[in-house]
Amino acid sequence: MGSDFGQGIWCAMHKIGFVVFPGFQLMGFSAVTAFEVANLTLGEPAYEIELLSEPGGEIKSSAGFGVATKAFDDTAYDTVIFGAGTTIEPMTPGLIAFAQRSVQTSRRVAAPCTGAFVLAESGLLDGRRATTHWVFARQLQERFPAVKVEEDRIFIVDGSVWTSAGMTASIDLALAMIEKDHSQDVARSVARKLVVYHRRAGGQSQFSALLDLEPKSDRIQRSIEYAKAHLRSMLSVDELADAASLSARQFSRAFRAETGQSPAKAVENLRVEAARLMMEQGRHSLDVIAEETGFADRDRMRRAFLRTLGQPPQTIRRNAREGATIQ
């Protein structure tokens, strides 16, 4: 094994049972890749993965091809992960029984995205904090009112039960587990090899202001990039229009037509997102964050947070700190 990956650190084996269903979503397998890279990083088989399903045999993914799985049995796993699908998986008595048994016999049980519905149907989320993909969060809360759904979280750890948002959030979930099992340095090394940001905090938001800003022209894109790079400035319409090489009137009309927002609202959203990221990193006081992101003072920042996120900065910071602490 090349020295570029292996560090030659001996470690105990963690056996992971990864449950898939007909029509499972392939992005969920990104968590499996994180554990695979952890093995390479550690230079030892720290994680052994078994793909599981209720019937066993070949299970077809949403992409149309299948994977070989082992049927549920009495094997004890360190970790059981219930994978996600593009829709909510119909529950069967066998699946519910396996989930209920897993929480008793495993060190931890995890469910990215729609996998949370399996845990909720099994009663494992009653009274617990949990999250899922934002598309399904309201449905999860309505169907299972005993669950404390926090729809804007990347992942949540409540005792031995882990839940996460969908898609790439399963990588954050896996990195958090690797950090818990080994160290922050190992998790950081795995993240670098995966070419991802080192584990996002669990309290980080699933949403991004940039997802709502999808301009069609290079000129408006240039103005957004300029705003991101100069958040400490006043960022008047004239200044942003100059960056786009348009008159102020042309710019305002084109910006709203392409993004659905006024330039002022877009700048506020970008400032909120930048401030939230600084809070999640936990390195600066709220006064410093307000100044660095162009709010000038904490009160203006607080009002912007309430308008945009419905929560004050103190709540965002507290959630980020809770999410960064792995139980």
* Distance separating alpha carbons of residues 248 and 13, to the nearest angstrom: 62
Which class for 211: exposed (0-12), middle (13-18), buried (19 or more C-beta within 10 A)? exposed
- Domain-ending residue, one of 135, 162, 194: 194
Please choose, from the candidates 250, 196, 258, 275, the residue with its C-alpha nearest in 3D space to the C-alpha of residue 224: 258
Which class for 129: exposed (0-12), middle (13-18), buried (19 or more C-beta within 10 A)? middle
Are 85 and 232 members of one domain?
A: no
- Domain-ending residue, one of 167, 194, 221: 194
pLDDT at residue 215 in the model: 75
Decide if 40 contacts 183 (C-beta within 8 A). Answer: no
pLDDT at residue 51 in the model: 97
Hey, what are 137's tokens? 């969060």
pLDDT at residue 13 in the model: 87
Any domain includes 147 = yes
Give the pLDDT means over successive 10-residue stretches in the chain (327 positions).
39 88 85 94 94 95 92 96 83 94 96 94 96 89 94 87 88 92 91 73 53 76 91 93 94 92 92 86 86 93 87 80 55
Are 168 and 222 members of one domain?
A: no
Q: How many CB atoms lie within 10 A of CB 70?
A: 13
Decide if 238 contacts 250 (C-beta within 8 A). Answer: no
Domain boundaries, position 142: 14-194
Are 168 and 227 members of one domain?
A: no
Hey, what are 15's tokens? 């056996």
Any domain includes 201 = no
- Domain-ending residue, one of 131, 165, 194: 194
Any domain includes 7 = no
Its pTM stands at 0.65
pLDDT at residue 316 in the model: 79
SS3 call for 292: helix
Measured at the CA of 262, the angle between CA 256 and CA 268, to 5 degrees, comes to 140
pLDDT at residue 318 in the model: 78
Are 61 and 122 members of one domain?
A: yes
Total domains in the fold of the chain:
2
pLDDT at residue 100 in the model: 97
Are 66 and 153 members of one domain?
A: yes
Are 314 and 262 members of one domain?
A: yes
Hey, what are 305's tokens? 């947070």
* Distance separating alpha carbons of residues 47 and 30, to the nearest angstrom: 14
Decide if 235 contacts 294 (C-beta within 8 A). Answer: yes
Are 283 and 156 members of one domain?
A: no
* Distance separating alpha carbons of residues 180 and 274, to the nearest angstrom: 28
Hey, what are 55's tokens? 């019937």
Are 151 and 278 members of one domain?
A: no
Tell me the CATH number at 217: 1.10.10.60
